[in-house]
Chain A
Amino acid sequence: MNDITMWAEVAAFVGGGLAMGFGAIGAAVGEGYAAASANAAISRNPEVSGEVFKTMLVGQAVAESAAIFALVVAMLLVFANVGENASWMTVTVFLSSGLCMGLGAIGSGVGSGFPAGAACEGTARQPAMGGRLVTNMLIGSAVCQTPAIFALVVSFILMFTNFSDRPVNPTWAAILGAGLASGLGAIGSGLGGGLVAQASCEGVARKPEAAGTLTNVMLLGQAVTQTTAIYGMLVSFILMFKAFDPAGTTLAPAMALLSAGICMGIGAIGPGVGEGFAAQSAVGWIARNENATAELTRTMLVGQAVAESTGIYALVVALVLIFVV
């Protein structure tokens, strides 16, 4: 066993640990929130405890999926077959795909817990709307899972792409940057999307007549919160598939690519959460005052557009780091 093969084994184990360790945070918090809300709901209206229990389990199952993605990636890494032709890129591929999936599962896990909790409390409040609430919860939490799915896709592509014909020097950094861009970039969008879905489930229980409008505005608000995770995935794809010139032994070209991934990944968190706050409030107030739907939707979109701006700055800086510097 040569030196690099040993480090590749080390990286596969560390990557697997990071994937499952980080990946377990979000789902556990989200499911705990759902269970807490289910208890609150049952104490308020014990007669529908069966319905609430069922809603809680369905909601928790969706939140769990982010952790299951992380488990799959961790298993693949732990049992990865490190060949004799491992290079330093193999080392970074294992670390990067583990980090990507682990970080990417945090936001979606927590976010999916919010609509599950709100659906449980809503079922206690309006037992007749139970079915509609579960539908609304499932639509909302499915959208929350998309950032985790982006992270899963990127970590699979990292693991199953053959990078061996690329120059080792800047490519190791591009691989690491790609994982961080999608992984960190998924946190904000997952959380933000969850806040919107929570408000929508609360709203359906508060005002069942407005259920259609609430679902539609929820989807609109969630779509905007997902944009920064999509920027993260875009940067990851560029980093994974662009052919970089060999950089010899210089450090700067590699650092530009790593920095692009970190910049887009961290830069996507704030706008994702902030846009979630805006849409949460808009959806919540549409349930209270349906006549103002047009004004609320417009203000939500304008406010989200402004909150998006720093995410766009981060995208611009990341693209400058990749293509210009």
Chain B
Amino acid sequence: MAIEGADIIKAAGLLGAGLSMGLGAIGPGVGEGMAAAKACEAIGRNPKEAGLLTRTMLVGQAVSESTGIYSLVIALLLLFVV
């Protein structure tokens, strides 16, 4: 009936994976949305530069995506490696 140590460790790893990806998704989601909001504002002021602004937005979003990818990597490590 007793729960074994290895089972608790495995369970903690699985819970950690979910928490890592879940919490890690908040920041990039909000941050990338703000970047897109400012890009829209800038295009509204100056539609001629739409191409340049969209490119800058995408580069900025790619950088802010990185923490989401770190969370994904940690989640996958917890699921499959550790």
> What B residues does A314 contact at CB under 8 A?
21-22, 25
Within 8 A of B (CB), among A243-283: 249-252, 254-256, 258-278, 280-282
Give the complex CA separation of A53 and B18 in angstroms: 46
Q: Is the CB of A299 within 8 A of B36?
A: yes
Q: Is the CB of B58 within 8 A of A306?
A: yes
Known contacts A270-B29, A285-B43, A309-B65: A300-B15 contact under CB 8 Å: no
> What A residues does B33 contact at CB under 8 A?
192, 271, 273-278, 303-304, 307
Q: Is the CB of A289 within 8 A of B21?
A: no
Within 8 A of B (CB), among A139-161: none
Q: Is the CB of B19 within 8 A of A269?
A: no
Give the complex CA separation of A255 and B57 in angstroms: 39
Shortest Cβ gap from B68 to chain A (Å): 4
Q: Mark B64-82, 1 if CB is under 8 A from A, else 0.
A: 0100110110011001000
Residue of A188, A252, A281, A307 contacting most chain B CB atoms (<10 Å): A307
Chain B CB within 8 A of A310 CB = yes
Q: Is the CB of A267 within 8 A of B22?
A: yes
Residue of B8, B33, B69 contacting most chain A CB atoms (<10 Å): B33
Q: Is the CB of B29 within 8 A of A321?
A: no
Give the complex CA separation of A175 and B8 in angstroms: 20
Chain B CB within 8 A of A54 CB = no
Residue of B32, B57, B62 contacting most chain A CB atoms (<10 Å): B32
Give the complex CA separation of A255 and B40 in angstroms: 42
Known contacts A285-B44, A289-B45: A264-B22 contact under CB 8 Å: yes
> What B residues does A241 contact at CB under 8 A?
none
Shortest Cβ gap from B77 to chain A (Å): 12
Known contacts A277-B34, A314-B21: A307-B29 contact under CB 8 Å: yes
Shortest Cβ gap from A213 to chain B (Å): 13
For A, the interface residue count at a CB cutoff of 8 angstroms equals: 63
Interface size of B as a range: 35 or more
**Which of A73-81, A93-101, A102-110, A290-298 lies at the interface?**
A290-298
Q: Is the CB of A266 within 8 A of B43?
A: no
Within 8 A of A (CB), among B1-52: 1-3, 7-8, 10-12, 14-15, 17-19, 21-41, 43-45, 47, 50
Give the complex CA separation of A252 and B18 in angstroms: 13
Q: CB within 8 A of A262: which of B3, B8, B19? A: B19
Give the complex CA separation of A256 and B13 in angstroms: 9
Q: Is the CB of A309 within 8 A of B22?
A: no
Residue of A273, A289, A310 contacting most chain B CB atoms (<10 Å): A310
> What A residues does B27 contact at CB under 8 A?
270
Shortest Cβ gap from A273 to chain B (Å): 5
Q: Is the CB of B37 within 8 A of A281?
A: yes
Shortest Cβ gap from B45 to chain A (Å): 7
| 24 examples of A-B residue contacts, CB within 8 angstroms | A251-B7, A255-B12, A262-B18, A266-B19, A273-B30, A274-B28, A277-B36, A281-B40, A289-B47, A296-B47, A299-B40, A302-B36, A303-B36, A303-B61, A304-B33, A304-B36, A306-B58, A306-B65, A308-B29, A309-B28, A309-B32, A316-B72, A317-B17, A325-B79
Interface residues of A (CB under 8 A from B): 188, 192, 249-252, 254-256, 258-278, 280-282, 284-286, 288-289, 291-292, 295-296, 298-300, 302-304, 306-311, 313-314, 316-318, 320-321, 324-325
Top 4 A-B pairs ranked by shortest CB distance?
A274-B33, A303-B36, A270-B29, A285-B44
